[in-house]
A = this chain, B = another copy of it.
Amino acid sequence: MSTRIAKPAPRMRKEPRQARSVATVEAIIEAGARVLSEIGWAGFSTNKVAEAAGVSIGSLYQYFPDKLALVDAIRRRHFDHVLSVIREAAAEEKPVRQFARELVRGMIAAHSIHPTLHQVLLDEAPGDRGSRAAHASFQARYLEHYAAAVAQYRRRLKDTETVARVLSSAVEGVIHNAARRNMLDAPELHKQLGELICAYLSGQGGARV
């Protein structure tokens, strides 16, 4: 029993050379993200994606060697996007409230296009083959940025990593829940999520009750 190394599976079967094919590939990835977000991994079929992209199934397989390669492409694109948001928010030094505001705004914006894509990618879609490393690397960098922010605003310096993890998963939970209820752009939500972040970051460990 070899350790489950089944397929090297290149990420692209052929590189698109003309503008036409670049557009095709882009349409496929975009449609894939839509299908994944709207129907979930269980309903994610290559035929469905091709149809949603307004492209023949043959064209899909001209560029993506198999289903997983397509998911990988979608994942890479989405994760890159999210990473850039958090990186920007945590970039220069700024007051907590501004950090929170920018983070909330960016995160909500990033989820407004395909509201549940993020969760589907994390929970349902298999991280099996080649994306395992990419996935871990994303998580690591994702946390790093949060940790940087936490270190900057939090007084107590213990447990920075845990705090970062709690903060990030709390934010994601709120956004995911709002996405499920089509409430991503409710202003009260923005405000309250911002307050949650501020309160947690500037809260003193043993505050009086």
Q: Are A96 and B172 in contact (CB under 8 A)?
A: no
Of B40, B41, B177, B195, the residue contacting A169 (CB under 8 A) is B177
Cβ of A170: which chain B residues have Cβ within 8 Å of it? 170-171, 173-174, 196
C-alpha spacing A45/B110, complex, angstroms: 34
Is A33's CB within 8 Å of the partner chain B?
no
C-alpha spacing A123/B37, complex, angstroms: 11
Is A157's CB within 8 Å of the partner chain B?
no
Q: Are B209 and A188 in contact (CB under 8 A)?
A: no
CB distance from A63 to the nearest CB of B (A): 25
Q: Are B176 and A169 in contact (CB under 8 A)?
A: yes
Cβ of A171: which chain B residues have Cβ within 8 Å of it? 170, 173
C-alpha spacing A50/B197, complex, angstroms: 45
Q: Are B177 and A165 in contact (CB under 8 A)?
A: yes
Closest 7 CB pairs of A and B: A173-B173, A199-B203, A169-B177, A42-B42, A170-B170, A199-B199, A162-B188
